[in-house]
Amino acid sequence: MTDAGEVIAAARRSGQRIAVAESLTGGWLCSALVSVPGASAVVLGGVVAYATPLKAALLGVDPELLRLRGPVDSEVAQQMARGVRSACAVDGRPAEIGIATTGVAGPDADPQTGQPAGTVWLGVSSAAGERAVRLRLDGDRGEIREAAVRAGIEALGTLLGERDRAENDAFPMT
C-alpha cells in the first residue's frame, strides 16, 4: 500500500505537480499530502467543493451534467480532476496531475440520486488522459471518508509509479 510520503517522493522525482479537488473528503486528501515534509515542492493546492453548485463554479463541472446525474458520477469526478488542474495553476501553468473525490459518506443515501452511502468516485486527470474509479466502501461516515483518502493516495501512487517506470509519457488511462 502506498503512503503519502511515497506519493510526494515520486512526484518530486518525476517533476509532477498535484492539485486536489474534494467533496466528501472535505480537504482530508490534500491535508494528508501536505503533512509530508517537502510537499510544498509538488502540491499546488486544493479546492473543497462540497456544495454541488461549487463543483461548477470553482472547478468547471458542466452544470447540466450535475443536474442530470448529480454530483456522484464518473464524469463529474473526471471533470473535477480536470478543473482543479487549472484552478490551481501557478504562473499560468496548470498542475500536471489533478485528483478528485466525490461520493456519499452517509449515513443516508444521496438525496438527488439515491446512491447508497459508501459510493465514491475518484477522478484522475493528467496530460496523458483521464479516468474515474468507482469505490464501494463500508463503514460509518468517518470510515468511508478515511477509506476514500487512502484510495486517493493509492491512485496517486499508482499513477506516479507507472509514470516513473514508463519509457515515454504514456499512462494507460482508460
Domains in the chain, please, with CATH?
4-165 (3.90.950.20)
Whole-angstrom Cα distance, residue 25 to residue 16?
23
* DSSP codes, 127-157: TTEEEEEEEE--SSHHHHHHHHHHHHHHHHH
pLDDT one-digit tens code per residue, 50-79: 999 999 999 999 999 999 999 999 999 999
Look at residues 19, 1, 43 and name the one whose alpha carbon lies nearest to residue 155. Answer: 1
Predicted model pTM: 0.93
C-alpha cell at 83: 478543473
Phi and psi, residue 42, nearest 5°: -135, -20
Higher pLDDT, 162 or 96: 96
Residues 84/46, Cβ–Cβ less than 8 Å? yes
